[in-house]
Structure 1
Amino acid sequence: MSRAAPPSRLFIAALLLAGSAVVLAPATASAADTTVTVNLAQRGKVPTRAGAGFLYGLNQDGSGPADSVLQPLRPMLFRGGGARIAGHGWLGDGYRAGSGYQVRVDSAISQARRVTAAPYNATYHLLVSDVWGADTEQPANTVYPCDNGDCTNWRSFITRLVTDVRASGVRVRYDIWNEPDGTGFWPRGVNSAQYYQMWNTAVTEIRRLDPGAVIVGPSYSGYNHTWLNDWVARTKADGTLPNVLNWHFGNDPAADAADAQAILSARGVAPMPLTIDEYLFSQQQHPGYLAWYLDRLAVSDVSAAAHAIWSDCCVAGTLDSVLWNGQPTGQWWVYRAYAQMTGNVVATTNGNGMAVAATIDPAAGRAVALLGNQNGQTGTTTVVFNGVTNFVVDGRVRVTVQRIPDQSPLSGPVVVSSADVTVTGGTISVPVAVQSGTDAYTVTLGAPLDGGGGGGGPLIIDANSPDFQYGANWGLTTGVPDMYAGTANWSYVGGATATLRFTGTQVALHAVRDMDQGRMTVSVDGGASQTIDNYAPARNASGVVWTSQVLPNGPHTVTIVNTGQRSPASTGTNIALDRADVTQAAVLTVDGNVRGTGLNQFNYSADWGLATGIPDMYAGTANWSYTAGSTATFAFAGTQIALHAVRDIDQQMIAISIDGGAESIVDNYAPSRNASGVVWTSPTLANGNHTLRVRVTGTKNPASSGWNVAIDSVDVR
């Protein structure tokens, strides 16, 4: 875990719960065109979802976050041990098992119990040093394991911990000491004689008590060839090699993993699983870099990796800030897309700072490419797909491009385009205009991913996505081959209610029709209910059973109720929801530096400046003012508009109005920077011409250090 100053500053001083480091913000990247390739004919391993892991992602008892936002990510790894929970662990109890120790053990076991069971079946790395009390809050007079050569108390701690874990019946992997190269956790020296005493004592005792235990280490704060080489040699000689080789961060996971395996080979050690239990520094935690890192993990030997935490340690239940007030962020949607990359990994080539990983899954009806950049790269990236034979109809294949912006919260990716493209010689080329260096993109052939915005085809929402909410008496079945995303949300109890919230103009509901299905009612926005009979003499698992009327563009709620009734021919009263197809008005995104007096142009008064080359803003531009009374207007045609602007520690308040109506005051102060998030969204408007007006108020939040206003872009529907 790390804490960092706002990324708007040149230097980011990071105090890692995983160690101390000073990190430079990424250099601004100029727009440059590049090409990456995807060869759908060259198929390899089944995707491992190695990057779908979280350090301190759960709340204290493991019950949060909700399944609705956790299951869609298909997580593989969790790591925890009760860090920062009051009581300070074994250390705080006077180097014995008291209430401080117990609360941390209970937290870790509760978390592990949830995520190691179905439907997650994930791995849990228990941070032994957290339970002991080494979470950077140790007092100066702390007696560390094996001080003065005495390991007696440390051995007693290990004995008690392993005994308690085994008694719980929950299987964990023992990550013995977090970052033993930093003074915040282990001030006795990296690879020191005392460190090896501590390590060997722990490994010997764990294996004595539980011969089948899996041990993880050394968990250095960063990949270091020299440290790891020396460590492998020493632990091999001592007979205390772990079962899993682990480190944190690093430059490129694929390169680091190759080097680690080379070290093992050179030392005569058989290959072993590799994990990275913390990745992404503060300034890297945005969709663009996350997608790049996941792409590199896809071609590495790393079996699992955990997203690092920087602002809400350690039991906030936010998936390491991947959730914002319980809602998905841009990073969440990258993980969601990553989870939908099923089937087989295919061969790819990268270019000019852009990375791509891709999969093909004929059973799911699609191939998926995930694009991310390392250096804030913009410009046009052309994705060349070779070996295109699947999903082709009459010589054409449906291609959908989605943009995942760096926003918190984010209701879904934006569909940039969705169209049928002619396949020539098994090849198509898809240009992707990367406007902001913090954006990620997906390109799908065939069925598009669920989640997204308007334009070029329906938004497909799996019934197991966060947009669907379920009351009591609903169940979830996974691995259903004839249903979208392989999931079915079902109920056979009369009165069981589900709701779907969406924004758009029409929705079609897909559900199972079969000989054991019952009747349900469907209503929109609290209106009259319509009864739908899902009985059929033969199964159709994903057909459309109901379509709404055309609705005003805007937010709507569909309510679905199991009536508990059935057709006389039916053998049951089950209802099984598959997905929804939402028709949305196309989204037009306009950069704040598109200037003029016509439609879809910004018109600025005096005292506005322009900054360019800003990697975390749309098209790299910011139009800014700190002068009270300065205005910006934007003329558009549509039914709704959303304003993107900078929120940061130095921003003031703005007043926003539509068509000369009442102003809404928006405070752009925030304790940490969000350069391109939505700060205000209009109500649904009558379809026609409108004018947005932004006024600099000259007032600010008392916590703000400045008077700036910086406009990024607008989204028009």
Structure 2
Amino acid sequence: MTPHARLHARIRLTRLIRRWLAPVLAVAAVVAMTPLLAAPAGAADGTVTVNLAQRGKVPTRAGAGFLYGLDQNGSAPADDLLQPLRPTLFRGGGARIAGHGWIGDGYAAGPGYQVRLTSALDQARRVTAAPYGAAYHLLVSDVWGADTEQPAGTVYPCDNGDCANWRTFVGRLVADVRASGVPVRYDIWNEPEGTSFWPRGVNSAQYFQMWDTAVNEIRRLDPSAVVVGPSFGGYNRTWINDFLARTKADGTLPNVLNWHFSSDPVADATDAKGVLAANGIPAMPLTMDEYLFSQQQNSGYLAWYLDRLALSDISAAAHAIWSDCCVAGTLDSVLTSGRQPTGQWWVYRAYAQMTGNLVATTNANGVAVAAALDQGQGRAVALLGNQSGQTGTTTVAVNGLSAAPWLVVNGTVRVKVERIPNQSPLSAPLTVSEGNVAVTGGAISVPVTHASGTDAYTITLTPGGGAPGTGTVTVDGDTTGTGDLQFQYGPNWGLTTGVPDMYAGTANWSHTAGATATFRFTGTQVALRAVRDVDQGRMTVSVDGGAAQTVDDYSASRDASAVVWTSPVMSSGAHTLTIVNTGQRNPQSGGVNIALDRADVSQQAAPPPTTVTVDGDTTGTGDLQFQYGPNWGLTTGVPDMYAGTANWSYTAGATATFRFTGTRVALHAVRDVDQQIIAVSMDGGQETTVDGYSPSRNASGVVWTSPVLPTGAHTLRVRLTGNRNAASSGYNAALDSADVTR
């Protein structure tokens, strides 16, 4: 738990840092030809590896813990929201429950003490029993009353050398816990480094009097008790070393070494083991009862941290709480206030599905991956997260498939890539792609283009094969010839290789009017992927000699693998797609280049719905384009928004429209302390108001989702009402992107 003073200070600092939304315009230099081969500014492309042949430990689900995650009597959230996460640790002690604990009862056992202890025992009773079998860390200082709301003039344990009342409290607590029969671990004092919890100084003489008194009394009454500590508010090698040296000398070492908020749990756990060894102390379990600061609590960073925890020697860790403290039953805001799953909940669910054995992995450019292989479940699962707001393309190289021959059927493995956006609520992850992928040399490569720096991704491998002519086949643009699933290029086309953000690293391009390419395929539908960038022109596409449709490849920000056109569903059979460079361009474009990336061919009669994400700065009057009226501005280089762009206005009555073909749309926009109320309508229908105010910033969350619509063309309209929440400090509105379901 974080004290009010520290919490408010962090919130103030975060808000100052995030006051990016000023009307500042960035001017991009237009460079002919070569920009189409470069990654977007701020992107960090790279390759991470998963080696299924190198198997390690059974996953411990170390990160599946929650601080104050349950409601007061431990009954919420419901089992259907808790069991899928397979939690391993809970921590509590009745913090902030009215009565102020032992302190509020005049340093005696009265109703204030009893209500906090009852809450903790009710929670522990539920989660330590089947089917959970989790550990429960009982925060002794919470029951005593040190939850940052203790009154002025509080007498702390062992003030003036007098530990008698503290000893009485600990004795009563242990007796009551033992009488309940509920198994708990005693976490003696929260963050005792001179904070509002313990103002008597880190590792001070009084601190060790308090600690030794508690440990000796606990072990006198219950020799088998597990003691957790010191629970410092961060990993500090000097503090931990001094604590271990002193408690070893006093004979009061904890059974579990605990701290909070490691910057990297792998490195800190390794260091802590070295400190134990240097002090001649046998190895003991390492835990972290709080992790993730408020600004880190998004899908992408959580996945990165869980990946690091999976590979560390930390045995258990609990997600920190920064709001709705302390008995809201939302798993530390992993659920909404109405207890609906958020993006973070789905990340924890994916983490719980990493069963069997962990396998060897490597990371790159701030992207971490952890993976597990489980033949009993018939799958391998990899979880990707990022530490640095990654927006490039990460190639996941999966090796060692020869060591898992049950995954490879008819030379293929089935691959499903899912995106977990940082969205609240989120009904389910978004399927990016799914289909059989050919295995070559016991390996496959899976490109993952990060739609937003706060997204997480999962890759699930299951046995391939299936009936002939089913699934989705991806064909690189440089797979050439005159046969099935091959591209054929006429004159005036060139090839560039080694392009890091394109499939297989290849770009087939032309800047000549009339240059023609064809793609022959057998299937029911095709999606063409090509570069969208500042120097791209317009092309036409047609299938089987039908009417040509014009596709504008211009975009103010680069997407090297965008789906620029998708055919209708056709009868199963042989088809030919024709692409022609028109030699024309959007007035904003700096060139007439066309660069083809690949084609995705559906070979199933009824392909499942797919989701297309469109940046708010993809502008025009056509399909999958935003159009802004007067009084809108553009800010680029915004690290926590899709493609780094924010289209904004603070003028009442300003409108924006988004045209799309599909069955549903989800609008992403900024929620922050200075946002106003917008009105959203669909196809000229009734408006729905959306309040953009939030006490903490979420730059790319879903603020409104349409109902399911008839398949076809639709128009979403956004209007600034000029009204604001009474708590908001401004009238800004900033659009991020839209997710279209087709």
TM-score (norm. length: structure 2): 0.75
CA distance in 2, matches of 1:26, 1:694: 24
The equivalent residue for 1:212 is: 224
CA distance in 1, matches of 2:393, 2:696: 30
Amino acid at match of 1:370: L
Taking the aligned partners of 2:2 and 2:393, their CA distance within structure 1 comes to: 34
Pick closer, same or farther for the CA change 1:118–1:706 going to 2, 3 Å. same
Give 1:619 deviation, angstroms: 2.1
Whether 1:403 and 2:399 are equivalent positions in the alignment is no
Alignment correspondent of 1:322: 334
The alignment partner of 1:189 has SS state of: coil
Give, in angstroms, the shift of residue 583 of structure 1: 8.1
2:9 maps to 1:13 = yes
Which residue number corresponds to residue 211 of structure 2? 199
Range with greater deviation from structure 2 (89-98 or 692-701) = 692-701
SS of equivalent residue, structure 1 residue 302:
coil
Give the structure 2 partner of residue 437 of structure 1.
453
1:268 paired with 2:280, answer yes
C-alpha contact 1:58 1:319 (8 A) present in aligned 2: yes
Aligned equivalent of 2:436:
420
- What letter is aligned with 1:363? G
TM normalised by structure 1 equals 0.78
Return closer, same or farther for 1:327/1:22 CA change in 2, 3 Å cut-off. Answer: closer
Q: Per-residue CA shift, 1:310-349, capped at 9, x if unaligned?
A: 0011111110110001100010000000000001000001
Residue among 49, 56, 60 paired with 1:37: 49
CA distance in 1, matches of 2:5, 2:643: 24
CA distance in 1, matches of 2:463, 2:118: 44
Q: 1:593 aligns with which of 608, 617, 621?
A: 617
Residues 25 and 38 from structure 1, CA distance in 2 versus in 1: closer, same or farther, beyond 3 angstroms? farther
Question: What does residue 279 of structure 1 align with?
Answer: 291
| Structure 2 residue 659 is matched with structure 1 residue 635 | yes
1:94 pairs with one of 81, 85, 106:
106
Which stretch of structure 1 is more off in the superposition, 628-637 or 281-290? 628-637
Say whether the 8 Å CA contact 2:3–2:148 is kept in structure 1: no
Of stretches 618-627 and 235-244 in structure 1, the one that deviates more from structure 2 is: 618-627
Deviation at 1:361, TM superposition (A): 0.6
In the TM superposition, what is the alpha-carbon distance from 1:650 to its structure 2 partner?
Answer: 1.4
The structure number with the bigger radius of gyration is 2
1:12 deviates by 7.7
Question: How far apart, in 1, do the equivalents of 2:145 and 2:369 lie?
Answer: 41
Q: Distance in 1 between matches of 2:300 and 2:352?
A: 16
Match of 1:469 in 2: none
Aligned equivalent of 2:385, options 350, 372, 386: 372
Provide closer, same or farther for how the CA distance between residues 311 and 456 of structure 1 changes in structure 2, counting only shifts above 3 A: farther
- Distance in 2 separating the partners of 1:350 and 1:90: 48
Which ranges of structure 1 fall in alignment gaps of 5 or more residues? 449-454, 458-581
Output the CA distance in 2 between the equivalents of 1:249 and 1:309: 12
1:384 to 394, 397, 409: 397
Once residues 223 and 22 of structure 1 are traced to their aligned partners in structure 2, the CA distance between those partners, rounded to angstroms, is 22
Instruction: Find out whether 1:337 has 2:350 as its counterpart.
Output: yes
Letter in 2 for 1:704: S
Structure 1's 76 and 36: CA in aligned 2 closer, same or farther, altered over 3 A? same
Deviation at 1:693, TM superposition (A): 1.8
Deviating runs (4+, > 3 A) in structure 1? 2-6, 20-29
- C-alpha distance in 1, partners of 2:15/2:395? 31
Alignment-derived partner of residue 558 in structure 1: none
Q: Distance in 1 between matches of 2:241 and 2:321?
A: 28
Cα separation, 1, equivalents of 2:285 and 2:220: 22
Distance 2:393 2:111 in 1: 58
* One-letter identity of the residue aligned with 2:373: I
Q: Indicate if the aligned counterparts of 1:415 and 1:456 stay in contact, CA closer than 8 A.
A: no
Q: Any idea what the Cα deviations from partners look like across 1:94-119, whole Å, max 9, x if unmatched?
A: 11111111111111111110000000
CA deviations over 1:677-711 (Å, ceiling 9, x no partner):
22222233222112222222323233322111111
3-state SS, counterpart of residue 323 of structure 1: coil
Report the more deviating stretch, 600-609 or 144-153.
Answer: 600-609
Q: Which runs of 5+ in 2 are unaligned?
A: 21-40, 465-470, 474-605
How many correspondences in the alignment? Answer: 579
Give the whole-Å Cα distance in 1 for the aligned partners of 2:637 and 2:303.
Answer: 21
Contact kept, 8 Å, 1:3 with 1:310, in 2: the verdict is no
User: Counterparts of 1:457-468 in structure 2 under 5 Å?
Assistant: none
- Superposition RMSD in Å: 2.4
Summarize the Cα distance change of 1:31–1:22 in structure 2 as closer, same or farther, 3 Å threshold: closer
Are 1:26 and 1:375, in contact at CA under 8 Å, matched by a contact in 2? no
Residues 330 and 410, structure 1, Cα contact 8 Å, conserved in 2: yes
Tell me the SS of whatever aligns to 1:697.
strand
3-state DSSP of counterpart to 2:174 = helix
Shift of 1:447: 7.0
Closer, same or farther: CA 140–96 of 1 in aligned 2, 3 Å? same
- Describe the shift of the 1:316–1:85 C-alpha distance in structure 2 as closer, same or farther (beyond 3 A): same
What is the DSSP-based 3-state SS (H/G/I as helix, E as strand, rest coil) of the residue aligned with 2:661? strand
After superposition, what is the alpha-carbon deviation per residue over 1:630-686, rounded to whole angstroms, capped at 9, x for unaligned? 222222112222211112221122222223333333332233322222222223322
Q: How does 1:651-670 map to 2 (within 5 A)?
A: 651-670=675-694
Which residue in the other structure is 1:618 paired with?
642
State the match for 2:710 in structure 1: 686
Q: Which segment drifts farther, 628-637 or 596-605?
A: 628-637
In the other structure, the counterpart of 1:474 is none
Q: Distance in 2 between matches of 1:588 and 1:5?
A: 43
